[in-house]
Amino acid sequence: MVGREGKSLEVRSFDHCFVCGSRNEAGLQLNIVSGGGEARAEFQPDARWEGYPGVVHGGVLSAVFDDLMFHAIYSVIKQLAVTASIEVRFRLPARIGARLYCHVRVAEPGARGHGRLVDVEGEIRDQEERLIATAKSKYIIMSQAQMDDFMGR
C-alpha cells in the first residue's frame, strides 16, 4: 500500500493485541497500515463495542488511538515506545454500524534516543467525514532492556 506522499507503508500486527491482534477473538482485529510516521485503520464497530445504546464506547476509540499511535512511531524510529499520556476529545458520538476512519501522525518524526518523549496526534472521522474524536499523546521511547523490564521478562 502507498501513502499520500508516495511512500510505501508497512503493515504490523501483534497476534493477541486487543486492537490489532489477528488471533484475539475478543479484540477489534484492525488491519493497521503504517509508514512514514503515520498510521491508518478503518473499522465498522458492532454492538460488542457499545457504551450508550447505539454509541461506540469511548474507551474503544481511545484504545484505537493508542494502538495506531504506537504503529506510527514504530514506522519511523523502529524502536519500542510506551504511552506516557493520551488526551482524547470526543466531538460527536461514533455510531454503532458506522464506518470509522482513523488516522494518526507523529508530530516530531525525527525523534530518537531512549527515554525521549515523542508527540503524536490523530483523528477519527465517520463515513460522512464528520470529526468524531481527536487525540494528542506522548510516548516514551524504550530500549529493549527497558521493554523487557516493563513486560516482566
CATH superfamily of 10-150: Hotdog Thioesterase (3.10.129.10)
String of DSSP letters for the chain = -B-TTS-B-EE---TT-TTT-TT-TTS-----EEETTEEEEEE---GGGBSSTTBB-HHHHHHHHHHHHHHHHHHHH-SEEEEEEEEEEE-SPPBTT--EEEEEEESSTT--STT-EEEEEEEEEETT--EEEEEEEEEEEE-HHHHHHHTT-
Instruction: Note the pLDDT of residue 112.
Output: 58
Mind listing the pLDDT tens digit for each residue in 2-50? Answer: 333 444 444 444 765 656 656 657 666 567 898 999 999 999 999 998 9
Mind listing the pLDDT tens digit for each residue in 44-86? Answer: 999 998 999 999 999 999 999 999 999 999 898 888 888 999 9
The Cα-based distances of 151 to 10, 82, 147 in angstroms read 25, 11, 6
pLDDT band (50, 70, 90) for residue 149: confident
Instruction: Note the pLDDT of residue 2.
Output: 35
Query: CA 52, CA 72: separation in Å to the nearest integer?
Result: 30
Mind listing the pLDDT tens digit for each residue in 98-139? Answer: 999 999 999 865 555 556 889 999 999 999 999 999 999 999
Instruction: Note the pLDDT of residue 113.
Output: 55
Q: Which residue has the cell 521493554?
A: 147
Supply 80's cell numbers: 519500542
Question: Of residues 141 and 150, which shows the higher confidence score?
Answer: 141
Is the model's pLDDT at 1 over the cut of 70? no
Question: For the chain, what are the domain ranges?
Answer: 10-150
Query: CA 68, CA 106: separation in Å to the nearest integer?
Result: 10
pTM of the model: 0.82
Instruction: Note the pLDDT of residue 5.
Output: 43
